[in-house]
A and B are shown apart, each in its own frame.
Chain A
Amino acid sequence: MRLAARDLGWTTGGKRIVDGVSLDIEPGETLGLVGPNGSGKSTLMRLLAGLAPRPKGTVQLDDAPIETLTRRQVAQRIAFVEQIADTSEALRVRDAVELGRTPWLSALAPFGEQDTQIVDDALAAVDMLAMAGNRWSTLSGGERQRVHIARALAQRPRLLMLDEPTNHLDIHHQLTLLRLVCRLPVTVVMALHDLNQAMCCDRIGVMDGGRLVACGPPAEVLTPQRLAMIFRVQATPLHDPFDETTQFRFRCLEDDI
């Protein structure tokens, strides 16, 4: 599915959170959104998913303007994993993942064998099948995040949006999760804080003050000059001979003054 956004904007309390963002997302690509805190990454993702009220600008999913689709039709195409989503209900892991089937079910189309299979696959994809019967309240932060992603996968979306998916995860789970996301046969848009992790994306969009200031392949976009300007850090590219990749090491620019 191709997503085309034109001149997206969102204002709250007289403050422009997102301003004039135009963006094309190609089928199958993984797009990383980076930017300082409060640069509008989360809001941009909510605008792209049609979840923000009273948006400015247009979003097209293939040839359909998003506002002509019902919420249900959008949810059949786009799954969204929020930064913080918790529940006090005594749900089990499987219950939470089964919620992902909601846009495909109705009172007249109940949960069936095929849905069970999809939920099993989603649980297996995030390595949570063995914990399917565990209660939500007993899960660690990382396990909850993986369940949220399984829930999003069970939605069988064509576009998966993840808002800082590696938050709360230990380094092992961060890496396995990113590997999983990058290998998924769906289009992925994710906000990331770790710039080195963002290097694995096909393209990176850089947000600053609500504007998309750059968008392109990681090596072209994440230059030391741009990182200095936007994140106020000095980035030293280092070469990792293990997999022939470039990683950054960061120092605060203020340290040098």
Chain B
Amino acid sequence: MTHAAIPVTHVKPVAMWGVTGVAVLFGAIFAGVMIGETPLPPRMVLAVFANRLWDAGHLVDPIDAGIIWSYRLPRTLVAAACGAGLALSGVVLQALVRNALADPYLLGVSAGAGTGAVAVSILGLGGGLIGISAGAFGGAALAFLLVAALARAAGGGSAQLILAGIAGSQLFNALTSFFIAKSANAEQARGIIFWLLGNLSGVRWPDVSLALPAAAIGLLACFWFARAMDAFSFGTSSAASLGIAVRPVQAVLIGATTLMTAIMVSIVGSIGFVGLVVPHAMRFIVGPRHGRLVPASALAGAVFLIAADVVSRILIPGQVVPIGVVTALVGAPGFALILLHNRRRP
């Protein structure tokens, strides 16, 4: 009856859930490729995949093939990787700082990544030696350290962390705006503002080769430390007495989170609410234990962002709505529901 009564270790249910999860993910990716301004039939999508993967030689209109293979597939894969990465970042931060409101967006990590990316792309920071992703990583890490230090100096409570996160977000967003105002021309400024709102339009295959490994590394780290994150339920001191090497585990997990957030932001801009709403929703379904919460959140985050991307493409015909707007339009009411639901229960 209770979720705890289901044995976690039995191979069969785990394998079954794993297969189901992968099937759902593939289904979502397939749907993400099919649906768009020009709906493409499933047979054509399959034909293009077959042509590309093993030279099947089906006859397909080259324009449709281009839309499927060069445009929609990389875009959908990056959406999946970003959704999984952001959701996992939320899971990690919520577990480590023991705050239900922790997520890369609210703690200023996304804003820092945005500043880092803009500093590299517009100001030319690093003189072309460091890429936009590296700049984003530097900005994200700096933002997290600043916010964590401020929260600690302010007394280290839950409320202090969120307030420090707000201060950090504001500071880094202001820096980003300052860099844009100072150095960007009108064309650049428009592009960057659109990118900051979350935009998958420009995504191509090289982005996939960056986003997928980042998400995979994050997922592995979360799986490896799932039990450690459970042990943080009663605080860091309790985790230490349960045999967790607190500092190294925090360093690895926060490093993985910062890496994922930075790479996702550098590709698609800052997308809010995924890291906040997805883990909460999954806690209702699979419970708070990380052995289940990590895979469930990764899957749900991936599917959620693929769906958000599809909606962003078809909501207004002939126009792409920034995906950050879509996630916020769904995420904000979703989060409100979670708050209300939490309150009703004693």
Contacts of A86 in B (CB 8 A): 234
Contacts of B242 in A (CB 8 A): 75, 99-100, 102-103, 155
Contact string against B for A residues 201-215, beta-carbon threshold 8 Å, 1 for contact and 0 otherwise? 000000000000000
Contacts of B246 in A (CB 8 A): 71
In the complex, whether B60 has a CB less than 8 A from a CB of chain A is no
Instruction: Please determine whether B234 and A90 come into contact, CB atoms closer than 8 angstroms.
Output: no
Which interface residue of B234, B243, B245 has the most chain A CB atoms within 10 A? B243
In the complex, whether A174 has a CB less than 8 A from a CB of chain B is no
Q: Given A51-B240, A138-B346, are A99 and B234 neighbors across the interface (CB < 8 Å)?
A: yes
* Bound complex: CA A82 to CA B241 (Å): 9
Instruction: Please determine whether A111 and B224 come into contact, CB atoms closer than 8 angstroms.
Output: no
In the complex, whether B1 has a CB less than 8 A from a CB of chain A is yes
Instruction: Please determine whether A102 and B223 come into contact, CB atoms closer than 8 angstroms.
Output: no
* Bound complex: CA A105 to CA B283 (Å): 23
Instruction: Please determine whether A90 and B238 come into contact, CB atoms closer than 8 angstroms.
Output: no
In the complex, whether A219 has a CB less than 8 A from a CB of chain B is no
In the complex, whether B9 has a CB less than 8 A from a CB of chain A is yes
In the complex, whether B177 has a CB less than 8 A from a CB of chain A is no
Identify the closest chain B residue to A155 (Cβ). Answer: B242
Contacts of A80 in B (CB 8 A): 241
In the complex, whether A49 has a CB less than 8 A from a CB of chain B is yes
CB neighbors of B among A37-66 (8 A): 49, 51
- B22-30, B69-77, B225-233, B315-323: which lies at the interface: B225-233
Instruction: Please determine whether A72 and B240 come into contact, CB atoms closer than 8 angstroms.
Output: no
In the complex, whether A85 has a CB less than 8 A from a CB of chain B is yes
Instruction: Please determine whether A88 and B100 come into contact, CB atoms closer than 8 angstroms.
Output: yes
Residues of B in contact with A, size category: 20 to 34
Residues of A in contact with B, size category: 35 or more
Instruction: Please determine whether B245 and A70 come into contact, CB atoms closer than 8 angstroms.
Output: yes
* Bound complex: CA A218 to CA B168 (Å): 56
Q: Choose one: A82, A89, A100, A105; the contact of B233 (CB below 8 Å).
A: A89
Determine how close the nearest CB of chain B comes to the CB of A236; give it in whole angstroms.
39
In the complex, whether A252 has a CB less than 8 A from a CB of chain B is no
Determine how close the nearest CB of chain B comes to the CB of A193; give it in whole angstroms.
21
Q: Given A82-B238, A105-B227, A137-B346, are A89 and B288 neighbors across the interface (CB < 8 Å)?
A: yes
* Bound complex: CA A165 to CA B249 (Å): 29
Determine how close the nearest CB of chain B comes to the CB of A67; give it in whole angstroms.
13
Q: Choose one: B224, B233, B237, B243; the contact of A72 (CB below 8 Å).
A: B243
Contacts of A70 in B (CB 8 A): 243, 245
Instruction: Please determine whether B227 and A107 come into contact, CB atoms closer than 8 angstroms.
Output: yes
In the complex, whether B16 has a CB less than 8 A from a CB of chain A is no
Contacts of B36 in A (CB 8 A): none
* Bound complex: CA A3 to CA B241 (Å): 17
Q: Choose one: A75, A91, A111; the contact of B288 (CB below 8 Å).
A: A91
Q: Choose one: B9, B227, B235; the contact of A85 (CB below 8 Å).
A: B235
In the complex, whether B340 has a CB less than 8 A from a CB of chain A is no
Q: Choose one: A85, A90, A132; the contact of B283 (CB below 8 Å).
A: A90
Instruction: Please determine whether A87 and B237 come into contact, CB atoms closer than 8 angstroms.
Output: no
Q: Choose one: B4, B9, B240; the contact of A94 (CB below 8 Å).
A: B4
Contacts of B185 in A (CB 8 A): none
Contacts of B228 in A (CB 8 A): 102
Identify the closest chain B residue to A86 (Cβ). Answer: B234
Instruction: Please determine whether A103 and B98 come into contact, CB atoms closer than 8 angstroms.
Output: no
Instruction: Please determine whether B245 and A85 come into contact, CB atoms closer than 8 angstroms.
Output: no
Instruction: Please determine whether B240 and A87 come into contact, CB atoms closer than 8 angstroms.
Output: no
Instruction: Please determine whether A49 and B346 come into contact, CB atoms closer than 8 angstroms.
Output: no
Which interface residue of B235, B237, B242 has the most chain A CB atoms within 10 A? B242
Instruction: Please determine whether B1 and A74 come into contact, CB atoms closer than 8 angstroms.
Output: no
Q: Choose one: A94, A99, A107, A110; the contact of B231 (CB below 8 Å).
A: A99
Q: Choose one: A76, A91, A92; the contact of B243 (CB below 8 Å).
A: A76
In the complex, whether B2 has a CB less than 8 A from a CB of chain A is yes
CB neighbors of B among A128-157 (8 A): 132-133, 137-138, 155
Q: Choose one: A94, A100, A103, A107; the contact of B224 (CB below 8 Å).
A: A107
Identify the closest chain A residue to B246 (Cβ). Answer: A71
* Bound complex: CA A137 to CA B233 (Å): 13
* Bound complex: CA A95 to CA B227 (Å): 11
In the complex, whether A79 has a CB less than 8 A from a CB of chain B is yes
Contacts of A155 in B (CB 8 A): 242
Contacts of B306 in A (CB 8 A): none
Instruction: Please determine whether B289 and A95 come into contact, CB atoms closer than 8 angstroms.
Output: yes
Contacts of B7 in A (CB 8 A): 116
Q: Given A88-B98, A133-B2, are A103 and B243 neighbors across the interface (CB < 8 Å)?
A: yes
* Bound complex: CA A252 to CA B346 (Å): 42
Q: Choose one: A51, A89, A91; the contact of B241 (CB below 8 Å).
A: A51
In the complex, whether B334 has a CB less than 8 A from a CB of chain A is no
Instruction: Please determine whether B243 and A102 come into contact, CB atoms closer than 8 angstroms.
Output: yes
Contact string against A for B residues 44-71, beta-carbon threshold 8 Å, 1 for contact and 0 otherwise? 0000000000000000000000000000
Query: Can you pick out 5 interface pairs between chain A and chain B where the beta carbons lie within 8 Å of each other?
Result: A79-B241, A99-B230, A99-B233, A100-B242, A103-B243
Nearest 3 pairs between A and B by C-beta? Answer: A75-B243, A103-B243, A80-B241
| A residues lining the B interface (CB < 8 Å) | 49, 51, 70-76, 78-80, 82, 85-92, 94-96, 98-100, 102-103, 105-107, 110-112, 116, 132-133, 137-138, 155
Instruction: Name 10 extra pairs, CB < 8 A, besides A49-B241, A51-B240, A71-B240.
Output: A51-B237, A76-B243, A89-B288, A90-B288, A95-B230, A99-B234, A103-B243, A107-B223, A111-B8, A137-B346
